A and B are shown apart, each in its own frame.
Chain A
Amino acid sequence: MDKQSLLDLLRHDARESVDDIARQLGADAEAVAAALEELEDDGVIRGYQAVVDWNNVDEEHVRAQVEVDVELDRETGYEEIARRIARFPEVATLRLVSGDYDFFIEVEGASMHAVSNFVSERIAPIPEVTKTVTHFVMDSYKEEGIELGDGDDDDRLSVSP
């Protein structure tokens, strides 16, 4: 079983049935199920989630990208700080990045107030954190490889040579 093809397929559509995946890869369903289990056990696949277009959801949902600068000392490394930040349920994504700042955080909340409160009361006070810059998400056009919006119509002729 070619795990890369399996991952390609799942990253495209994780809801495909094991049978349909097997058909596309020319494998049998048991082999696909086993490979999936292996990928999960090995920590390659960490979960399966819906890609939500929040524009089309009635409830308010606010997201912000937060840049975080930290100052390390002899006892504290990135890993430790990261573990602490990652524990907050408001933090959807946390990455260590190269460039002008250290951590990139994606924070989600029910309102702008909730999100900014969270940053100022939970993130900023962490002793190693020296600076935060919060960017509220105004709109989103593409998430996880999926373009949001109405999409283009298929304008091909329905039957052609």
Chain B
Amino acid sequence: MTLGDQLSDRVKQVPPSGIRKFFELAEEVDDVISLGVGEPDFSAPWAARTAAIDSLERGKTSYTSNRGMRELREAISERVTRYGQEYDPEDEIIVTTGASEAVDLAFRAFVDPGDVVAIPQPSYISYTPGAIFAGGEPLPVPTRAEDEFKLTPEALEAAGADEADVLVLCYPNNPTGAVMTDDELADVASFVRDHDLVVLSDEIYSDLRYEDDHASIATHPGMRERTIVFNGFSKAYAMTGLRLGYAMGPPGAIDAMNKVHQYAMLSAPTTAQYAALEALRSCDDSVDEMRREYDRRRRFVLARFEEMGLDCFEAKGAFYVFPEAPDGDDEAFAEGLLEEQNVALVPGSVFGEGGEGHLRVSYATGMRELREAMDRIEAYVSG
């Protein structure tokens, strides 16, 4: 027997990650300027780092309660009121090892074998594999550049999502930078209620919106009871490596997720929980500062693309813009750019249907590199 032959069908069903492939290509190139990075170029706010160190010095190295430190859940509960969300720290919030774990828990808690999981695309690359690992059947719901990659009831209808059991949402969006307003979410909410779907709403970029405030589908009438909201510390607080996120939802739902979590994870990293608590308490200014910096870069990149004649809708969230590849072939463009100009970005097709013909450009990179990268892209486009 070799273990390679024993792989579960679920694992075999998931193809190797397209991001991974591109990462390997980029690693071959010297002096690469990368606009392919999906995490902040800042470090966690100083106060949060100090709180982590302090907790270690005080010997806080044991497990916490399964759902996370009570104080942290309270601080989260308090925090999300600014998005109009109200969740009881007692039984409606669970702290997880990154939003990634929270998403996985939700799939395992709500997806039965054969359940259809509607996933608007292009999308963050974890949802489809996550649904498959849980035995679900992913249903791609392509969104379109004409709609600025927002999800519409028409797109849901066209993809057959009325038959789905679960709908995944992610706004502000990775990879497109798209955001959705309350009105636009109201239309989706109405579709969801009509067809009785469960919604998994990944709102990890909620603090990185540049033109308006975050809007959550969970705050719409009749949605709270059918929605799990994910959020975390990775993006807004530049804490990716600390691995801390959370999920919020109605009590029974969080209980179910906690059932999986208590066996699979026990509790989220304790040191990171202390850092997160401090982040919530005292780091709003750092978040504002980072947001302002991202916004300047966003405008810069959008302006440069416009001047180069690259079609690019005005992305208003996260730290990505999603221009069209000039000749329509995103993979060829990305590979050519990497080879000739040493600039890495990610071809849109990696993110699923609707992503092809586009490029994910991350501006989580300092202005100096960004300027140089834009010059090189311009040279490549006109060359």
Write the residues of chain A forming the contact surface with B, with a CB cutoff of 8 angstroms.
5, 8-9, 12-13, 16, 20, 22-26, 154, 156-161
Contacts and interface: CB of A to CB of B under 8 A. Distances in A.
A154 B344 CA distance: 15
Nearest to A16: B367
B299 A158 contact: no
Contact of A159 (B26, B41, B367, B368): B26
Contacts of B303: 22-23, 26
Interface stretch (B32-40, B103-111, B256-264): B32-40
B296 A159 contact: no
Interface string B156-170: 000000000000000
A20 B126 contact: no
Contacts of A13: 367-368
Contacts of B23: 157-160
Nearest to B100: A161
B300 A159 contact: no
Interface string B5-27: 00000000000010100110011
Contacts of A12: 367
A17 to B, nearest CB: 9
B124 interface: yes
Nearest to B301: A23
Nearest to B22: A159
A159 B346 contact: yes
B125 interface: yes
Interface centre among A20, A154, A160 (most CB of B within 10 A): A160
Categorize the interface residue count of chain B: 20 to 34
Nearest to A9: B296
A161 B37 CA distance: 7
B273 to A, nearest CB: 23
B67 interface: no
A9 B297 CA distance: 11
A12 B19 CA distance: 33
B304 interface: yes
Contact of A158 (B27, B297, B304): B27
Pick the 8 closest A-B CB pairs, nearest first.
A23-B303, A159-B36, A24-B296, A159-B23, A158-B34, A160-B38, A23-B300, A158-B26
Contacts of A5: 292, 296
26 contacts: A5-B292, A5-B296, A9-B296, A12-B367, A16-B367, A20-B300, A22-B303, A23-B304, A24-B296, A24-B299, A24-B300, A24-B367, A26-B303, A156-B41, A157-B23, A158-B23, A158-B26, A158-B34, A159-B26, A159-B37, A159-B344, A160-B19, A161-B38, A161-B124, A161-B125, A161-B126
Interface string B313-349: 0000000000000000000000000000000101000
Contacts of B299: 23-26
A20 B368 CA distance: 11
A156 B17 CA distance: 18
A158 B124 CA distance: 17
Nearest to B124: A161
B128 to A, nearest CB: 12
Contacts of B367: 12-13, 16, 24
Nearest to A154: B41
Contacts of B22: 159
B376 interface: no
Contact of A20 (B17, B39, B346, B371): B371
Contact of B19 (A16, A23, A161): A161
Interface in B37-58: 37-39, 41
A9 B41 CA distance: 18
Contacts of B27: 158
Given A158-B23, A160-B23, A161-B38, A25 B296 contact: yes
Given A13-B367, A23-B304, A25-B296, A158 B344 contact: yes
